[in-house]
């Protein structure tokens, strides 16, 4: 008889009890109260519940939706009503990972568990004009920041037409789109240079693909944009998980 096999069910049970205990201590229970499909590529999901009331939230903060088995996916809420206890997240339906599977199959009335909100980007609370640079995963952040002041958005996307429904629904109008490339994208630098000519002192917020952030950080350094005006947070990288 294999001792490892004999103890496996007990170990799984202990792991499940440990996960449940941590969830009770550090997470919030919520319910899916609304879902809006924005074309084929995005779903806007509203979460609600008593545990979401009275919460301190700042644009740029993140939450993590627990998917079970120590798997979670991170999202940037578009807004947070801490009186009614509602928050909204925009999910980009790409590839076929756990987050995409959850977002595609979740239904109104389904229960979920979230961790947060927590600080993701330490942004100034002022209404300073901002340039948000990223991709489809950056739209939630752009929408959240647009509520506090002027925002210009520069995105590299896989498909312009699939991104447009989300832009229209969120009311983001000052947006420039570039088609994503496998290598460095000189079009992004050209667009960013033009934006900087309009306003030389905006807050520049870099999110999305890690390699794009690296490219544009080098470009901004060469342009003379100091680190005090730059904020960055990689959301993903090809072949890697765990970025948030």
Indicate the number of domains in the chain.
2
183 against 132, higher pLDDT: 132
Residues in a beta bridge with 178: 156
d(CA 132, CA 166): 16
**Residue 163 lies inside a defined structural domain of this protein:** yes
**Residue 203 lies inside a defined structural domain of this protein:** yes
What is the span of the domain harbouring residue 50? 3-118
| Dihedral Cα 234, 154, 65, 110, nearest 10 deg | -160
The pLDDT score that the predictor gives to residue 125 is: 62
pLDDT in tens, 34-66: 999 999 999 999 999 999 999 999 999 999 999
Does this model's pTM top 0.75? My answer is yes
**Residue 99 lies inside a defined structural domain of this protein:** yes
**Residue 125 lies inside a defined structural domain of this protein:** no
Q: Which of residues 71, 90, 118 is at a domain's end?
A: 118
Tokens matching residue 113: 């568990």
Together in a domain, 44 and 106:
yes
Together in a domain, 74 and 152:
no
Together in a domain, 114 and 134:
no
**Residue 12 lies inside a defined structural domain of this protein:** yes
Residues in a beta bridge with 80: 87
77 against 11, higher pLDDT: 77
Q: Over 70: is that where the pLDDT of 6 sits?
A: no
Q: What CATH code is carried by the domain that includes residue 166?
A: 3.40.50.2000
Together in a domain, 157 and 180:
yes
Mapped onto helix, strand or coil, the DSSP state of residue 23 is helix
**Residue 17 lies inside a defined structural domain of this protein:** yes
Together in a domain, 11 and 113:
yes
Q: How far is C-alpha 158 from the geometric centre of its chain's CA atoms?
A: 17
Going by the DSSP 8-state scheme, the letter that residue 96 receives in this structure is: T
Q: What CATH code is carried by the domain that includes residue 38?
A: 2.40.30.10
The pLDDT score that the predictor gives to residue 2 is: 36
- Split at pLDDT 50, 70, 90, the class of 15 is very low
Together in a domain, 20 and 112:
yes
Q: Over 90: is that where the pLDDT of 7 sits?
A: no
Together in a domain, 11 and 109:
yes
**Residue 82 lies inside a defined structural domain of this protein:** yes
Mean pLDDT of the chain: 88
Together in a domain, 87 and 13:
yes
> What b/e sequence results for 179-200 when a residue is b if at least 16 CB atoms lie within 10 Å of its CB, and e otherwise?
ebeeeebeebbebbeebbeeee
Together in a domain, 192 and 102:
no
Mean pLDDT score, 177-201: 90
Together in a domain, 13 and 38:
yes
Mean pLDDT score, 3-14: 49
Q: Over 80: is that where the pLDDT of 14 sits?
A: no
Q: Which of residues 118, 145, 177 is at a domain's end?
A: 118
Strands of the 175-179 sheet, one edge to the other: 175-179, 151-157, 130-134, 203-209, 230-236
**Residue 186 lies inside a defined structural domain of this protein:** yes
Q: Which of residues 97, 118, 139 is at a domain's end?
A: 118
Helix axis angle for 186-198 and 210-223, nearest 10°, is 50
Phi, psi of 242 (to 5 degrees): 100, -10
Place of tokens 């980007």: 121
d(CA 151, CA 204): 10
Mean pLDDT score, 178-189: 92
Together in a domain, 7 and 114:
yes
Together in a domain, 135 and 230:
yes
Tokens matching residue 146: 């647009």
Cα Dmax for the chain: 74
């Amino acid at each position: 008889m294999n001792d490892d096999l004999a103890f496996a069910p007990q170990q799984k049970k202990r792991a499940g009890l440990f996960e449940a205990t941590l969830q009770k201590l550090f997470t919030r229970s919520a319910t899916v109260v609304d879902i809006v499909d924005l074309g084929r590529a995005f779903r806007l999901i509203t979460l609600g519940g008593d545990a979401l009331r009275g919460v301190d939230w700042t644009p740029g903060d993140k939450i993590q939706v627990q998917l079970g088995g120590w798997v979670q996916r991170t999202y940037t809420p578009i807004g947070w009503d801490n009186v009614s206890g509602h928050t909204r997240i925009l999910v980009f339906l790409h590839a076929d990972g756990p987050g995409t599977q959850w977002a595609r199959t979740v239904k109104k009335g389904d229960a979920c568990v979230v961790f947060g909100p927590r600080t993701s980007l330490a942004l100034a609370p002022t209404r300073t004009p901002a340039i948000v640079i990223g991709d489809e995963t950056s739209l939630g952040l752009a929408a959240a920041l647009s509520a506090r002041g002027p925002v210009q958005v520069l995105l590299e996307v896989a498909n312009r037409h699939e991104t447009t429904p989300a832009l229209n629904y969120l009311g983001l109008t000052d947006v420039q789109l570039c088609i994503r490339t496998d290598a460095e994208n000189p079009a992004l630098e050209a667009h960013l240079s033009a934006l900087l000519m309009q306003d030389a002192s905006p807050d520049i917020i870099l999110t999305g693909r890690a390699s794009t952030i690296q490219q544009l950080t080098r470009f901004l350094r060469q342009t003379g944009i100091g680190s005090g005006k730059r904020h960055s947070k990689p959301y993903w990288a090809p072949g890697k998980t765990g970025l948030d």
